[in-house]
């Protein structure tokens, strides 16, 4: 009974792979955690709610596993059409996942949006892990109380306590996921860390700078698209982006006094894009008023969202 044919080569038998979706209320730290686990910035982060608008996949390899993290928009009670598209997209991202990580901001606890998410998770069949994030901000006693309260509501397989910001607890999570995912070949080339095209990541980076710079409702009324991407013979790249806003008064705010605001946004964005590309970047930002962009199907297509009718 020797020399039986192997059904798989040792390499393929050893590899694991799968999709791990992160769900949670806005601002729970999903994008920060994806960036921390991938080890590079693939998804933009701000202190404001509703930063992530569409699905962003960040890819990590750990031990013999390729873990595809699916960053989703925060889940909340939608009001506008764009909100509905974001929330539908978030739940959709969970549908195809092998494992779901449910993020709770440990400082906020189970309130409002987080409570509603836990309620709806009862109907989700995939294995679910509870991730208490921002543990750098709370006392251990509070974490234990939160763990038991959440586990009473939902049948979590495991609970992890992490700080996406400092990286605390993140290696344990990666170790666990790398073993927990099913056997199978990798989905992406070994060195790929994101599935977002560079044009889109560049638009996201500008949107991040806009969020960081502007206040109140303005960020939510704006949208950024990369319109031109031209590689120059001298090795530099010329990028043109349009910032869409809804009203003329908003355009004035984005431009700022003598164009100061847009210049600062452009400079911060250009520096970050250049750092990623390792290339000299000439970035040109234009502001356009498009009153009803929040109801324009074409804008949704650009963002990778379905248009809710």
Ligand X SMILES: Nc1nc2c(ncn2[C@@H]2O[C@H](COP(=O)(O)OP(=O)(O)OP(=O)(O)O)[C@@H](O)[C@H]2O)c(=O)[nH]1
Contact footprint for ligand X (CB under 6 A): 24, 26-32, 45-47, 49-52, 73-74, 133-134, 136-137, 163-165
Report the residue closest to ligand X, judged by CB. Answer: 74
Residues in contact with 248: Cβ distance below 8 Å, sequence separation at least 6, in sequence order? 289
Return all residues near 203 (Cβ < 8 A) that are at least 6 apart.
224, 225, 226, 241
Q: How far is the CB of 156 from ligand X (least distance, A)?
A: 19
Q: Which does 41 bind (CB under 5 to 8 A by kind): Mg ion, ligand X, none?
A: none
d(CA 53, CA 74): 8
Cα 192 to Cα 129: distance, rounded to the nearest angstrom: 26
* Residue 49 binds: one of Mg ion, ligand X, none (C-beta under 5 to 8 A by kind): ligand X
Q: Using CB distances below 5 to 8 A depending on partner kind, what does residue 29 bind out of Mg ion, ligand X, none?
A: ligand X
Q: Which residue is nearest to Mg ion (CB)?
A: 52
- To ligand X, the closest distance from the beta carbon of 92 in angstroms equals 15
261 binds Mg ion (CB under 5 A): no
**Residue among 17, 35, 36, 52 that touches Mg ion (CB under 5 A):** 52
Q: How many residues bind Mg ion (CB under 5 A)?
A: 4
Examine residue 31 and tell whether it contacts Mg ion (CB under 5 A): yes
Judged by CB under 5 A, does residue 163 bind Mg ion? no
Q: Please, which residue, 47 or 79, has the CB nearer to ligand X?
A: 47
The site partner of 134 among Mg ion, ligand X, none (C-beta below 5 to 8 Å per kind) is ligand X
The closest of 70, 71, 76, 69 to 26, measured between CA atoms, is 76
Shortest gap between Cβ of 228 and ligand X (angstroms)? Answer: 27
User: Is 27 among the residues that bind Mg ion (CB under 5 A)?
Assistant: no
Instruction: Return residues touching Mg ion (CB under 5 A).
Output: 30-31, 51-52
């Amino acid at each position: 009974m020797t020399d039986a044919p192997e059904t798989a080569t040792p390499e393929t038998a050893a590899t694991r792979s799968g999709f791990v979706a992160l769900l949670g209320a806005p601002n729970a730290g999903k994008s920060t955690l994806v960036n921390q686990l991938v080890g590079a910035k693939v998804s933009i982060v701000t202190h404001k709610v509703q930063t992530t608008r569409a699905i962003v996949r960040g890819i990590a390899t750990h031990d013999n596993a390729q873990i595809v993290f699916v960053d989703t928009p925060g889940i909340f009670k939608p009001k506008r059409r764009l909100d509905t598209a974001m929330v539908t997209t978030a739940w959709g991202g969970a549908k195809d996942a092998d494992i779901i990580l449910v993020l709770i901001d440990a400082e906020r606890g189970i309130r409002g949006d987080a409570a509603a998410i836990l309620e709806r998770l009862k109907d989700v069949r995939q294995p679910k892990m509870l991730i208490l994030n921002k543990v750098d901000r709370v006392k251990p006693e509070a974490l234990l109380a939160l763990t038991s309260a959440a586990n009473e509501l939902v049948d979590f397989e495991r609970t992890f306590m992490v700080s996406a910001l400092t990286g605390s607890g993140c290696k344990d999570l990666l170790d666990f996921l790398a073993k927990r995912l099913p056997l199978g070949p990798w989905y992406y080339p070994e060195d790929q860390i994101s599935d977002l095209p560079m044009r889109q990541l560049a638009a996201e980076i500008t949107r991040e700078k806009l969020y960081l710079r502007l206040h109140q409702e303005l960020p939510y009324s704006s949208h950024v698209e990369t319109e031109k991407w031209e590689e120059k013979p001298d090795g530099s790249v010329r990028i043109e982006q349009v910032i869409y806003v809804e009203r003329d008064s908003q355009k004035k705010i984005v431009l700022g006094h003598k164009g100061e605001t847009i210049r600062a946004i452009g400079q911060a964005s250009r520096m970050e894009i250049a750092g990623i590309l390792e290339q000299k970047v000439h970035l040109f930002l234009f502001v356009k008023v498009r009153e009803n962009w929040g109801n324009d199907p074409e804008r949704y297509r650009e963002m990778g969202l379905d248009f809710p009718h």
